[in-house]
């Protein structure tokens, strides 16, 4: 992984959403993504896990600039596509061809009034690919075939399909423009258990065949661990740990990751009942007024005064195992 | 577990009469549940696991209808209850928690109000103070800090996990013998799910409430249940102790489910083995085994006749023609 080429470089990325709260409609900000830095290498799958509201979806969307970042820097394949310091914000259209996204809810992300063929073909028209009618049709059929649907499905409407098939249409649409990088935003959480594994396998096959790079966002840690090479753990907008996916489960070093890993039930009665579970007190604080210092200190069993004052920085603790915690700095 | 059964369901059939035709949501299921026992019901959406639970507690809504079979609770026929008997039965003997606590709590009443109402509704002789005392005790039991203050708050002031705790408190406040939990942790985050599961396990130990735990998460089942029913398209395809189901699964669907799930504690990167195909259309069920069209080991007979149950172990049954294969060859 060390020699692998960096496809995406994200530095100190922030995304704040303005909200008006309270009786006086005071303008405040939801700090959805706070100072996140990470690299994504060519051909890998980087998983992103965390609880709802931790900013993993926002991060995924901000990276491909579906949301305009508040500040930070994004470098894609050697070219800076956003840099708040130097006021760089390039036109995204040529990059949209390279960076695609698969959304969580397939029924909501497919236009109900367009046929499957139109949905997939729309991207081809925007980027002026396959201009000939026959070529275009052939490409659509090729894509449908790649995701395991029949070519005659292209004249049907999304509601005629099951959830799993709708997600396949969403994947075909993302693949239409021959992207290099795909953000998979909870692509399987809306699907039934027996269908989930079909889609996971298909995503893995497509990656192998087309040399894709994935950012795989999901709250189901077992699935993320299965599909990813490396996993990042987010808590309240910050990246708290980033490591190889096997390493992260066997040797988590951040207190939050330890809790998260121990909370996942394992489908094996003996194993799961014998496990020591670390229970967290309380709930996730509001991202409008996040705790000072380390954002996890209000729930962390090892928190010290230092954690309340200073924000820990993400550091490498060997073999690309990154974590942000004051305790580790001392050890 | 014990000789006396708390709940016995025999050949229960529930159908929904829709304009498009009859949907057999629950198609002849039987099981029994003892005192102090936790049963998991696993299945995909549309497998009938919730419908079956709703019919026990009499919450089945039109066009759904119980069209056959019996439900016996401590020797009483639940299906023959009058509306009044049913009201007494619900809450006092059986209660239920739902997937989404926000839609089950009344937004315009305080949590305390809703909790005490549950007590006074069933027992008019309880004084207001006594009801309040019991409500606070219950909130403490489910792990809500500051229960006196929380009593005066409205549901919107609670977080998702807290609301689910309040729901559990409400469900258990009349000390029912059976609690039906319909996907109680599905809408919650894993760390909150872990908290709720701990609460449910503790309460189960203390109050010896029997629980029917409906979920699609096999991990949760492995953790909390004594026995498991696996449902597919309105039928129980396999039933056994939690160890039977996880370590010695017999039905191809159960095997397929277990093989298709990635496990967090695996340290190899093996490909998942998915169950191919899609769930059947309940409006037009196949003539033979419901799982037949997706089954890897499907035989001729599977497509023409429904499989009977085979006793594959002590209290372990599976509905599959494969178990009868050997017999017929002999």
Rounded CA separation A3/A19 (Å) = 43
pLDDT confidence bin for B226, thresholds 50/70/90 = very high
Per-residue pLDDT at B328: 52
**Chain A residues contacting B, CB < 8 Å?**
51-52, 162, 164-165, 192-198, 200-201, 204, 219, 221-223, 225-227, 246, 249-250, 259-269, 271-273, 277, 279-280, 283
Residue B2 has pLDDT above 80, yes or no: no
Domain residue ranges in chain A: 6-98+179-190+209-330, 108-178
Closest CA of chain A from B274, distance in Å: 5
Region of poorest pLDDT, from B123-127, B183-187, B195-199, B269-273: B269-273
Rounded CA separation A110/B186 (Å) = 25
Among left, alpha and beta (phi > 0; psi -120 to 50; other), residue B69 is left
Question: pLDDT tens digits, residue range A185-238?
Answer: 999 888 888 889 999 999 999 999 999 999 999 988 999 999 999 999 999 999
Distance of CA B275 to the CA centre of its chain: 23
Residue B330 has pLDDT above 60, yes or no: no
Which among A162, A249, A260 has CB closest to B191? Answer: A260
Closest CA of chain B from A263, distance in Å: 5
Mean pLDDT of all residues in B50-78: 90
Identify whether the C-beta of residue A272 lies closer than 8 Å to the C-beta of residue B219.
yes
Identify whether the C-beta of residue A198 lies closer than 8 Å to the C-beta of residue B276.
yes
Angle value at C-alpha A243, between B270 and A102, nearest 5 degrees: 65
What is the fold of A6-98+179-190+209-330?
Rossmann fold (3.40.50)
Identify whether the C-beta of residue B261 lies closer than 8 Å to the C-beta of residue B249.
no
Mean pLDDT of all residues in A241-260: 92
Give the residue from chain A lying closest to B268, CA to CA: A246
Closest CA of chain B from A167, distance in Å: 13
Torsion angle of alpha carbons B89, B95, B99, B105, nearest 10°? 80
Question: pLDDT tens digits, residue range A86-127?
Answer: 998 889 898 999 999 999 888 889 999 999 999 999 999 999
Residue A148 has pLDDT above 70, yes or no: yes
Residue B62 has pLDDT above 90, yes or no: no
Question: pLDDT tens digits, residue range A266-287?
Answer: 889 998 888 888 888 777 888 8
> CB distance B262–A225 less than 8 Å?
yes
Q: What DSSP assignment string belongs to B98-149?
A: -S-HHHHS-TTS-HHHHHHHHHHHH-TTS-HHHHHHHHHHHHHHTT-SSHHH
Residues contacting residue A169 through CB under 8 Å, at least 6 positions apart? A106, A110, A116, A119, A120, A147, A149, A158, A161
Q: Which two tokens stand for residue A255?
A: 């207190």
Q: DSSP assignment, residue B14?
A: E
Q: DSSP assignment, residue A297?
A: T
Question: pLDDT tens digits, residue range A46-93?
Answer: 999 998 888 999 999 999 999 999 999 999 999 999 999 999 888 989
> CB distance A200–B257 less than 8 Å?
no
Which among B45, B194, B221 has CB closest to A263? Answer: B194
Identify whether the C-beta of residue B258 lies closer than 8 Å to the C-beta of residue A267.
yes
Residue B3 has pLDDT above 70, yes or no: no
> CB distance B222–A226 less than 8 Å?
no
Residue B327 has pLDDT above 60, yes or no: no
Question: pLDDT tens digits, residue range B166-188?
Answer: 999 999 888 899 999 998 888 88
> CB distance A194–B274 less than 8 Å?
yes
Give this prediction's pTM: 0.88
> CB distance A267–B190 less than 8 Å?
no
Give the residue from chain B lying closest to A199, CA to CA: B274
Sheet with A213-217, strands from edge to edge, namely A99-102, A181-185, A213-217, A45-49, A230-235, A238-244, A322-323, A315-316
% chain A with pLDDT above 90: 66
Closest CA of chain A from B218, distance in Å: 5
pLDDT confidence bin for A45, thresholds 50/70/90 = very high
Question: pLDDT tens digits, residue range A150-198?
Answer: 988 999 999 999 888 999 999 999 999 999 999 999 998 888 888 899 9
> CB distance A162–B278 less than 8 Å?
yes
Per-residue pLDDT at A27: 84
Rounded CA separation A256/A270 (Å) = 25
Residue A1 has pLDDT above 60, yes or no: no
Residue A330 β-bridge partners: none
Q: Which two tokens stand for residue A123?
A: 């991207």
Alpha helices in chain A (DSSP H): 56-63, 93-96, 106-109, 116-126, 133-146, 163-175, 193-210, 221-227, 245-250, 255-263, 269-274, 305-309, 326-330
pLDDT confidence bin for B1, thresholds 50/70/90 = very low
């Amino acid at each position: 992984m060390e020699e692998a080429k960096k496809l995406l470089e994200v530095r100190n990325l922030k995304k704040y959403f303005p909200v008006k709260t309270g009786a006086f409609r005071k303008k405040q900000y939801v700090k959805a993504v706070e100072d996140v830095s990470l690299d994504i290498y060519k051909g890998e799958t980087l998983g992103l896990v965390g609880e709802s509201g931790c900013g993993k979806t926002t991060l995924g969307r901000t990276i491909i600039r579906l949301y305009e970042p508040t500040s930070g820097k994004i470098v894609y394949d050697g070219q800076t596509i956003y840099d708040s310091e130097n006021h760089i914000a390039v036109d995204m259209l040529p990059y949209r061809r390279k960076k695609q996204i698969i959304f969580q809810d397939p029924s909501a992300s497919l236009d109900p009034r367009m046929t499957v063929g139109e949905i997939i073909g729309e991207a081809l028209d925007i980027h002026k690919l396959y201009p000939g009618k026959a070529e275009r049709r052939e490409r659509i059929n090729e894509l449908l075939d790649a995701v395991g649907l029949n070519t005659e499905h292209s004249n049907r409407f999304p509601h005629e399909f099951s959830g799993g098939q709708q997600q396949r249409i969403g994947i075909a649409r993302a693949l239409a423009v021959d992207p290099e990088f795909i953000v998979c935003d909870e692509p399987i959480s809306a699907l039934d258990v027996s269908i989930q594994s079909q889609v996971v396998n298909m995503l893995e096959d497509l990656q192998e065949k087309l040399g894709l790079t994935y950012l795989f966002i999901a709250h189901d840690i077992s699935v993320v661990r299965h599909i990813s090479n490396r996993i990042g753990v987010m808590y309240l907008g910050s990246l708290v740990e980033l490591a190889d996916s096997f390493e992260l489960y066997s040797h988590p070093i951040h207190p939050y990751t330890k809790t998260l890993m121990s909370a996942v039930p394992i489908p094996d009665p003996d194993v799961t009942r014998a496990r020591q579970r670390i229970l967290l007190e309380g709930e996730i604080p509001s991202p409008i007024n996040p705790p000072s210092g380390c954002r996890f200190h209000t729930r962390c069993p090892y928190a010290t005064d230092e954690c309340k004052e200073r924000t820990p920085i993400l550091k490498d603790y060997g073999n690309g195992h990154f974590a942000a915690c004051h305790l580790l700095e001392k050890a | 577990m014990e000789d006396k059964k708390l709940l016995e369901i025999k050949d229960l059939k529930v159908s929904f009469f829709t304009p498009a035709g009859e949907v057999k949501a629950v198609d002849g299921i039987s099981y029994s549940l003892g005192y102090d026992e936790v049963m998991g019901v696993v299945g995909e959406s549309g497998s009938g696991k919730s419908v079956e639970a709703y019919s026990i507690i009499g919450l089945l809504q039109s066009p759904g209808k119980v069209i056959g079979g019996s439900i016996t609770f401590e020797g009483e026929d639940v299906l023959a209850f009058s509306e009044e008997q049913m009201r007494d039965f619900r809450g006092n003997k059986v209660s239920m928690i739902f997937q989404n606590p926000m839609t089950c709590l009344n937004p315009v009443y305080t949590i305390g109000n809703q909790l005490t109402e549950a007590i006074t509704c069933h027992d008019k002789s309880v004084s207001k103070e006594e009801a309040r005392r019991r409500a606070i005790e219950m909130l403490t039991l489910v792990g809500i800090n500051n229960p006196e203050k929380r009593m005066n708050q409205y549901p919107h002031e609670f977080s998702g996990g807290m609301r689910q705790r309040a729901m559990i408190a409400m469900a258990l406040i009349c000390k029912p013998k059976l609690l039906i939990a319909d996907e109680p942790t599905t809408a919650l985050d894993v760390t909150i799910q872990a908290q709720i599961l701990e609460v449910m396990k503790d309460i189960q130990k203390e109050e010896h409430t029997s629980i029917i735990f409906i979920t699609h998460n096999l991990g949760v089942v492995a953790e909390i249940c004594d026995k498991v029913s696996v449902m597919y398209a309105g039928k129980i395809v396999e039933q056994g102790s939690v160890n039977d189901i996880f370590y010695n699964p017999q039905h191809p669907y159960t095997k397929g489910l277990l093989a298709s799930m990635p496990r967090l504690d695996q340290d190899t990167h093996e490909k998942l083995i998915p169950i191919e195909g899609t769930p059947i259309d309940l409006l037009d069920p196949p003539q033979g085994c419901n799982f037949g069209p997706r089954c890897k080991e499907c035989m001729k007979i599977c497509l023409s006749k429904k499989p009977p149950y085979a006793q594959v172990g002590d209290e372990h049954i599976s509905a599959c023609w494969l178990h009868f294969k050997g017999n017929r060859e002999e």
